[in-house]
Amino acid sequence: MAAVSSNSSDPSNMNRNAFIALLLLADSAFGQRVADFTTAAAQAKTSKSDIVVFVHGSDWNRPGEVVAKIWNDARFLSAVGSGVLLVDLDRKENQSDGEKEAIKKNEAGNPPVRSLPAVALYDAEGRLVGTVSGTEELAAAGGLLAATKKLLVTRRERDDLWKAADGAAALIKAGKLGQGLDRMNLGLGPKGIYKPVLEEIRKADPEDKSGYVGKYTFSNDALVGLALKAAETKNYAEAETEFAKWDRNPRLSSTQRQELQAAKFALYQRWPEKKNEVRPILEKMRDIDPKSDLGQAAANYIELLFSTKRKKGDPPA
């Protein structure tokens, strides 16, 4: 009896090999679900994969469970693209002992989000890239899939900027590194995870001509403290000089510029010769971003401090 041939030219073998190849191709084109962040982080380092974390609360957050249906749909897995690891993080209020133990494996990938449901992206080094929090932000982004893809674009654009920084002239290098940080809009990240990038900027641009060292070391508390100390010691001019330096930094965000005006307000309120500059400071603080909390606070102070006093019984202005 003739032996069965294992020749790859056999039609049945060719069909089987083609099917296996198709499966392997499909697997590489899709994302992959992973049991927990610890496992995903280890896998990401070797495969250079992104990690997407979906955060919800299955026993209390109803909107999150609506979004979870999309997350768990096989079509989401295929649409998110290749080289992406997916981790489900369920922040239950009532956890079993087993769930409490399991969630420890997600501690490093438990993102700081304002509300649930939320989606977060971590890079292959386990660093947070960005988050989209709450149903309103997810809806504004176009839904869970669109939000996830936008986060992936953010990571790619960040890396393109940092790649362009390699070998660039000092000031250009500092600028590209800073633009990469700007792209994420996370400051230096949770627990200062991006401090090494700041140190690279500092080395490339020790005089901070780019303004990025200032931007990423800006401290509202320090500036307010400086204003209060200057008022206490009557050393107003020194604080004003420091504030003028920060005013010249073109890299400050709108929030930082508002916080700077708030510190100047704290100084000028206590500086008798500068009382006439208090209102312009508040107006500038308001006009930078009228819809922000600080912008609205400035508008309220203007109304409180400078509106014409009404006689009793007069209608509101």
Parallel, antiparallel, or unpaired for β 128-133 and 118-122? antiparallel
Taking the model in full, what pTM does it have? 0.83
- 105 pLDDT band, cuts 50/70/90, is confident
- Span 130-136, mean pLDDT? 97
Give the model confidence (pLDDT) of 27-81 as tens digits: 445 789 999 999 999 999 999 999 999 999 999 999 999 999 999 999 999 999 8
Question: Do 155 and 124 touch, CB atoms closer than 8 A?
Answer: no
How would CATH label the architecture of 29-145?
Answer: 3-Layer(aba) Sandwich (3.40)
- 201 pLDDT band, cuts 50/70/90, is very high
Give the model confidence (pLDDT) of 135-185 as tens digits: 999 999 999 999 999 999 999 999 999 999 998 999 999 999 999 999 999
Whether 259 shows a pLDDT value over 60: the answer reads yes
pLDDT reported for residue 4:
39
Sheet with 50-56: strands ordered across: 32-34, 84-90, 50-56, 118-122, 128-133
Of 108-117, 191-200, 214-223, the poorest mean pLDDT is in: 108-117
pLDDT reported for residue 29:
54
State how far the Cα of 232 lies from the Cα of 71, in Å rounded to an integer. 56
Domain positions in the chain are 29-145, 166-210, 220-306
- Span 96-121, mean pLDDT? 89
